[in-house]
Amino acid sequence: MKVVIQRVTNASVSISNEKVAHIDYGMLVLLGIVNEDTQDDINWLSKKIANLRIFGDENQVMNKSLLDTDGEVIVVSQFTLHAATKKGNRPSYIQAAKPDVAIPLYEAFVNQLESDLGKKVQTGQFGADMQVSLVNDGPVTIIIDSKNKL
């Protein structure tokens, strides 16, 4: 699993001009899934996100996590995170898991993150044509790949 995390002052997801998710302060998490991903990837990545210290403390030092703040989360599936661009100019998405594999893993990830955070996680809609809006705070953008744990 690969994620792009953006610390945001607000973010939203719309589908066909209808807002399906909105947060004011927290993280927008773009999630890419491959066939090799397992529950171990979900558990590790969810705990990493819940504990990631990217929010300012009283001295504005990035020392607080979602668990320490009132921050909210939106998780959006994004197969394009696994684009292969080495050859040619048209990205290949062959590494991205197909929906029959990706959807259950996506749902399990959201459920695990809710469990680790102790709060509801908002989402986009898997496979939909979504419009994602955000105001990146900082800007703070972090990429984490569960296959690069060490």
Instruction: Please report the DSSP string for 64-91 in residue order.
Output: E-GGGS--EEEEEE-GGGG-B-SSSSS-
Q: How confident is the model at residue 31 (pLDDT cuts 50, 70, 90)?
A: very high
For residue 47, is it within any domain?
yes
Angle at 12 between CA 141 and CA 132, to 5 degrees: 65
Residue 7 has pLDDT above 80, yes or no: yes
DSSP, collapsed to helix, strand or coil, labels residue 31 as: strand
Query: Could you list the residue range(s) of the whole structural domain that residue 72 is in?
Result: 2-145
Query: Tens of pLDDT along 105-131?
Result: 999 999 999 999 999 999 999 999 999
- The overall pTM is greater than 0.75: yes
Q: What is the pLDDT of residues 32-55, one digit of tens each?
A: 999 999 999 999 999 999 999 999
Q: What is d(CA 148, CA 45) in angstroms, rounded to the nearest whole number?
A: 11
CB atoms near residue 21 (< 10 Å): 22
Residues known to be catalytic: 78-80
Does the residue 77 lie in any domain?
yes
Evaluate whether residue 150 is within a structural domain.
no
